[in-house]
Amino acid sequence: MSENQSRSQIDKLPAPTSGEMKDENQFNAQFEDRLFLSGPNPRSRDFRLLMGVVNDFLNGFRALHFVGPCVTVFGSARFKEDHPYYVQARQIGAAVAKMGFTVMTGGGPGIMEAANRGAKDVGGRSVGCNIILPMEQEPNPYLDRWVNMKYFFVRKTLLIKYSYGFIIMPGGFGTMDELFEALTLIQTKKIRNFPIIMMGKDYWTDLIDFLERMKAAGTISPEDLDLLLFTDSAEEAIAHLEAKAVGQFKLRKQRVPRSSWVLGEKGLGKGR
């Protein structure tokens, strides 16, 4: 089919009704990121939206520049504090903080709250990148510092930018998105070979099988599977972080840049 024929077929499609246009405009008007992802906009609007992305990055840089080396914990927002995964994430957050790392999460409830809470249990540093959602997700109460983000892709970038390791607890679409973002960046050498630890072997059984199918099909290399550690043991996870994050990169755990009051910057110990 030629380009002209394709264009002709598109031209024959019915135009959206006024009701459909109104519904679309009402949907997009609630959040800037909806407008950003809604297709072509007037040039002036796209420029304004682009500045919103820049503002998200700037807010993130200013809030997180002084938090020190981080380990990011990903996982579902839906687990309550009596769930075994919540309990385990809290233990891991405490263990990571005892190593000298700042515990970083998406800043919300569930696994994120548990990991941040664990860090605070032992007097460690705890930060979050909270996403603004239609259901008004609020930052959890165990954060020393947080930043509210409009754009998921900015949030993912910041969660990876400041981290020397990633702990993946059971989760849903968002957790999978964050996992494969980190994996892709490591596989393509965009970032260093930071450790990725998958907690909960039973939960990830089907993913393990699918990764083996990908290897058999040749869509990933055999050594790509070495990027992941699947375990049920918090002790094994911490030992892996010690070897792969601290040992591999000769990391000084307490390395925290000095803030400048002239620029209105705040160290982590001085509040948000």
For residues 87 and 246, what is the distance between their CA atoms, to the nearest angstrom? 25
206 belongs to a structural domain: yes
- pLDDT computed for residue 14 by the predictor: 77
pLDDT of residue 226: 94
Given a cut of 70, the residues of the chain with pLDDT beneath it are 1-12, 20-21, 25, 28-30, 135-136, 249-257, 259-265, 269-272
Is residue 265 in some structural domain?
A: no
Q: Are 124 and 97 within 8 A, CB to CB?
A: yes
Q: Is residue 90 part of a domain?
A: yes
Residue 58 resides in a domain: no
Domain with 227, as residue range(s), is 69-252
Residue 77, domain CATH: 3.40.50.450
The pLDDT of residue 270: 40
Number of domains in the chain: 1
Domain assignment present for 25: no
Question: What is the predicted pLDDT for the residue at 248?
Answer: 72
The predicted pLDDT at position 177 comes to: 97
For 98-133, b where at least 16 C-beta lie within 10 A, e where not — what string? ebbbbbbbbbbbbbbbbbbbbbbbeebbbbbbbbbe
Are residues 107 and 129 in contact, defined by beta-carbon separation less than 8 angstroms? yes
29: in domain: no
Alpha-carbon distance 151 to 132, whole Å? 8
Sign of the four-CA dihedral 115, 117, 122, 126: positive
The CB-side HSE value for 118 (13 A sphere, CA atoms) comes to: 28
pLDDT in tens, 92-148: 999 999 999 999 999 999 999 999 999 999 999 999 999 988 765 789 999 999 999
